[in-house]
Amino acid sequence: MRILPAGSWEALPDERKAIDAEKVPWWYVTVGDMEGNDISGWAPEKDLIVTRHSPWEWPGFSTLRDNLSLDAHLARTLDATGRATEEETASYAALIEEAERGTILSKLYEIIDQPDEKGVRDNKLTPAEFQAALAKPWLAQQLSLLISQHESEWFWNESKWNQLDTLMEHTPEDPNIQWVREKERIKTLSWWKELAGQPGIAADGVAWHFQPISLPEALSKSGAVICSRCKKNISISYEFLRGIAYSTAQDGRIKEIAEQLNSYITRYEVNTCSQIKHFLAQAKHETGGFTKFREPLNYVSYTGETLYAMAPTAINDGFKRKGITFSSREEKIQWIQDNLINNDAAYGEHAFGSAEQPGKDYRGRGLLHLTHYGAYKCCGADIGVEIHKNPELVETDSRVIVETGLWFWKINKLKRIAEDRSITTDVAVEGITKIINTGLKGINERKRFMIEISQEFSKTYGGVAHEN
């Protein structure tokens, strides 16, 4: 099951929605099957297929009560992650089975544990399986809608932590000093009892835990993107994005980008008129009017000298990583001329490669051209997708294309420049560009795009009084 705000359904382009002779609405949507594969097709608004609900029903939320002991949790984790020996696994068998049958793990298996090619589920929840699930919107949503009741980790209960003594090989006769100190540290950090009795702070330490982003999203009545300053509905429509994109931009990609922007804009706090216009102006330049989500590196008109002058740090880093040295500057320039000029793949690997992932390159990709291995790895960890291992996802997967751009925008605090009413729009464009491209490459085009997008934005969403 996948739950979408009514606004996102109704904002679909005409070719992805219809009404049949019986006045039943149909929608062209993408969901997932039991194996986690994409399924795209038409779904009618009928009972058991597509139904409408009030957001105050909290549709899709599941409540789970977890009374599992800590030693069962730990024994199962050690076994699932391969950190337990065969002897330990046999010794912990009863605890592992107890954990496997618990309410939390049973639900997670149901959502995440996907069958292999033979249709067999291994009953092992690995970090890779969690990341794969988070990359699927319908699975990620199910995870975000889980509400669990259990004792808070901030509630000090000595008997609870003593449950781990055996697994930590600790006894009164033969104490594990590190484990004794760790329990003392946990006790020092625990604050729950100091606030017990306050609203929502139960004396027994038991509380309901939920994903903080999903609840307000579920209670949004329209599912629309609302400007946090002027309170207008500024959901990105296909028609608006199509209107500002180059005519050569793929129609399907434009639709997907609009949908993903509406899904993630609010999460990354880019939900103001000024930010969206600045963001899209920069994205339009970086992607060639939303036609290219991978930076081209064929420098046909360059020479070895001019290419080196353009990117000396990146090129020298490549030499250092590969252990290549030269007896003279002339020899270095000639190597660049022979190996990197008009050679997209070679230049990408040389200038944007990484020793951690040999053979891959981390050139600019996505809406704002995320660049360099460190940025890929940090961003991937935050969005739950291993793009440092699969950099091509940043140019092929619409969700990743969009979310990496929004992540870059937020992590670099570009909001403060886009919403600074003490500076002109041109100065704001320059300030944002300086962070995206330190050389201010294409600054005039970025300024022109900002003007054009602002005009189109006003036609679509109306004028905004607070814009500079």
Residue 305 lies in a domain: no
Residue 448 lies in a domain: yes
How crowded is residue 48: how many other Cβ atoms within 10 Å of its Cβ? 5
**Counted domains in the chain:** 1
Q: pLDDT band for 287, please (50, 70, 90 cuts).
A: very high
pLDDT for 119 beyond 70:
no
Q: How many residues does the chain have?
A: 468
Lowest mean pLDDT among 61-65, 335-339, 354-358, 451-455: 61-65
19 phi and psi angles, rounded to 5 deg: -130, 125
Quote the pLDDT of residue 230: 86
pTM: 0.55
Instruction: Quote the distance between the C-alpha of residue 458 and its chain's center.
Output: 30
How crowded is residue 453: how many other Cβ atoms within 10 Å of its Cβ? 21
Mean pLDDT over the full length of the chain? 86
Under 8 Å between Cβ of 315 and 336 = yes
Under 8 Å between Cβ of 262 and 11 = yes
pLDDT tens track for 24-47 = 888 787 776 655 566 778 888 776
Quote the pLDDT of residue 4: 65
CA distances from 59 to 96, 111, 208, 316, 335 (A): 32, 17, 17, 55, 62
pLDDT for 299 beyond 90:
no
Rg (CA), the chain: 27
> What's the rounded Cα separation, in Å, for the pair 108 and 456?
45
Q: pLDDT band for 55, please (50, 70, 90 cuts).
A: low
For residue 233, what is the DSSP state?
B
pLDDT for 233 beyond 80:
yes
Residue 275 lies in a domain: yes
Average pLDDT over residues 17-29: 82
Quote the pLDDT of residue 303: 94
Quote the pLDDT of residue 217: 52
Residue 187 lies in a domain: no
Residue 447 lies in a domain: yes
273: CATH: 1.10.530.10
pLDDT for 135 beyond 80:
no
Quote the pLDDT of residue 38: 66
| Domain encompassing residue 269 | 226-295+364-468
Residue 219 lies in a domain: no
Q: pLDDT band for 106, please (50, 70, 90 cuts).
A: confident
> What's the rounded Cα separation, in Å, for the pair 49 and 164?
47
Residue 242 lies in a domain: yes
Quote the pLDDT of residue 8: 58
Q: pLDDT band for 54, please (50, 70, 90 cuts).
A: low
Q: pLDDT band for 138, please (50, 70, 90 cuts).
A: low
- Range 235-268 burial, b when 16+ CB lie within 10 A, else e: bbbbebbbebbeeebeeebbbbbbbbbbbbbbeb
Report the number of secondary-structure helices (H) and strands (E) in the chain: 24, 6
Lowest mean pLDDT among 70-84, 101-115, 271-285, 425-439: 101-115
Quote the pLDDT of residue 101: 83
pLDDT tens track for 173-229 = 999 999 999 999 999 999 998 888 887 788 888 888 876 655 555 444 445 788 988
Q: pLDDT band for 362, please (50, 70, 90 cuts).
A: very high
Q: Which residue has the higher pLDDT, 61 or 284?
A: 284
- Which are the contacts of 68, defined by CB distance < 8 A and separation ≥ 6? 98, 99, 102, 104
Quote the pLDDT of residue 465: 39
Quote the pLDDT of residue 224: 76
> What's the rounded Cα separation, in Å, for the pair 368 and 284?
9
Residue 357 lies in a domain: no
